[in-house]
A and B are shown apart, each in its own frame.
Chain A
Amino acid sequence: MILYRLCQGIVRAGWPLVGGRLRVRGTENIPSTGPFLLIANHQSVLDPILIQAVCPRVLHTMAKSTQFASPPMRWLMAQLQSFPVRRFQIDPQAVRHALRRLAEGQGVGIYIEGERSWDGRLQAPRRGTVRLILRAGVPVVPAAIAGSYEAWPRWDRALRRSDVAIVFGQPLRWPAMVDRPEREPMVDATASELMSRIGDLLNAATRLRGR
Chain B
Amino acid sequence: MAIRDLLWACPFCRATDAIQARGKAEVCTHCGARFRRAAGAEIEAWPVGGQPVRRHAAEWAAELPPVRLPDEEQGGESDREYRRTVAVARFVVGFEPVRARGHYLGRVERFGPAVQGTLVLTGEALTFAPADGPAHRWPLETVTAVQPSSSGLQIRVRGGTVVLFRFPEASVRLWEETIQAALRRLYRSMGWGDIVEFQPRISIQ
Give chain A's interface residues, CB within 8 Å of chain B: 45, 64-66, 68-69, 74, 78-79, 83-91, 93-94, 97, 114-115, 118-121, 124, 126-128, 149-151, 153-158, 160, 162
Contact = CB atoms under 8 A, between A and B. Distances in A.
A81 to B, nearest CB: 9
Interface in B44-81: 56-58, 61-62
A78 B98 CA distance: 9
B40 A66 contact: no
Interface string B87-117: 0000000000011110011111111000000
B25 interface: no
Given A120-B41, A155-B3, A65 B200 contact: no
B142 interface: no
Contacts of A91: 106, 200
A157 B109 contact: no
B108 A65 contact: yes
9 nearest interchain CB pairs? Answer: A78-B100, A150-B40, A119-B61, A88-B145, A155-B6, A119-B58, A88-B156, A84-B106, A93-B106
A150 B106 contact: no
B184 interface: no
Given A66-B149, A84-B108, A119-B62, 14 more contacts: A65-B98, A65-B108, A69-B110, A74-B98, A84-B107, A86-B200, A87-B154, A90-B200, A94-B106, A119-B57, A120-B57, A127-B203, A154-B1, A155-B1
B37 interface: yes
Given A78-B98, A119-B58, A120-B41, A85 B106 contact: yes
**Secondary structure of the A contact surface, majority rule:** loop
A151 B37 CA distance: 11
A64 B161 CA distance: 18
Contacts of B41: 120, 149-150, 153
8 contacts: A65-B108, A68-B105, A88-B199, A88-B201, A93-B107, A126-B200, A149-B41, A150-B41
Contacts of A85: 106
A142 to B, nearest CB: 21
A19 to B, nearest CB: 11
B15 interface: no
Given A66-B149, A155-B57, A97 B200 contact: no
Nearest to A45: B150
Interface in B1-22: 1-3, 5-6
Contact of B200 (A89, A156, A157): A89
A160 B148 contact: no
Contact of B61 (A97, A118, A127, A160): A118
Contacts of A86: 106-107, 109, 200
Contacts of A158: 37
A115 B107 CA distance: 19
